[in-house]
Amino acid sequence: MKNTIKVILVDDHAVVRAGFRMLLSTVADIEVIAEADRGEAACQLYLEQQPDVMVLDLSMPGIGGLESIRRICGRDAAARILVFSVHDEKVYVDRAMQAGAKGYITKNSAPGILVTAIQKIAAGEIYIERGLTKQGFQSSETDYQGLIESLSAREFDIFLLLAKGLTAHKIANELCLSYKTVANYGTQIKSKLKVSSSAELAHIALALGVMKN
């Protein structure tokens, strides 16, 4: 008899979590043992519950998905985290895997993909939805891909928020950092990306496909 795979679901939408739970309840060897609606709670739950697999969204209030992955994997290198996100852009897949995730699928995938991904990751494998790693970046006079890869993990998080138009004060509150720290990061990011305004950061984010028009 197969061992039951213990799963924690992390998504800020209760309806989405309910849908995941209902789907997984039909699978004999998977049991949802806990849920969380933001990254801080996910980190705490992981330590308390020690799941076999954590299914985690990237876009959440608070520290967000990428930082949650980094914190959990920083404490437990063997953590098995499956990203389940609306984002299908290669830059998100790369960042999630670099942070320590063991798999990445999109919310547009067939329901069975979630089950397969959980089972594969629980067995110690890596699972990335077919086609996600083959996407290319839009051609441009500027090598945006090379520039974005020069950003650290924290810089990338702040880059995304600045590109969305958030002020340094709002970002500081969102990420629980000081205003001065965020302002310094903003200066470093603009220097690395060779821009001087948030509007230019938004242009790069659009070119990369990490932000929609």
**Per DSSP, what are the bridge partners of residue 103?**
82, 127
**DSSP result, 9-76:** EE-S-HHHHHHHHHHHTTSTTEEEEEEESSHHHHHHHHHHH--SEEEE-S--STTHHHHHHHHHHHH-
Residues 200, 130 share a domain: no
DSSP class of residue 82 equals E
Per-residue pLDDT of the chain (213 residues; tens, 9 = 90+): 468 999 999 999 999 999 999 999 999 999 999 999 998 999 999 999 999 999 999 888 788 898 899 999 999 989 999 999 988 888 888 888 888 999 999 988 888 899 999 999 999 998 988 877 655 444 443 567 777 878 888 888 899 888 888 889 999 988 888 999 999 999 999 888 888 888 788 888 877 777 654
pTM for this structure? 0.70
Is the separation of the CB atoms in 25 and 16 below 8 Å? no
Looking up tokens 């739970």, which residue turns up? Answer: 21
Residue 156 domain boundaries: 144-208
The CATH number for 104's domain is: 3.40.50.2300
Is the separation of the CB atoms in 8 and 34 below 8 Å? yes
Residues 81, 167 share a domain: no
pLDDT for 139: 41
- Structural domain count of the chain: 2
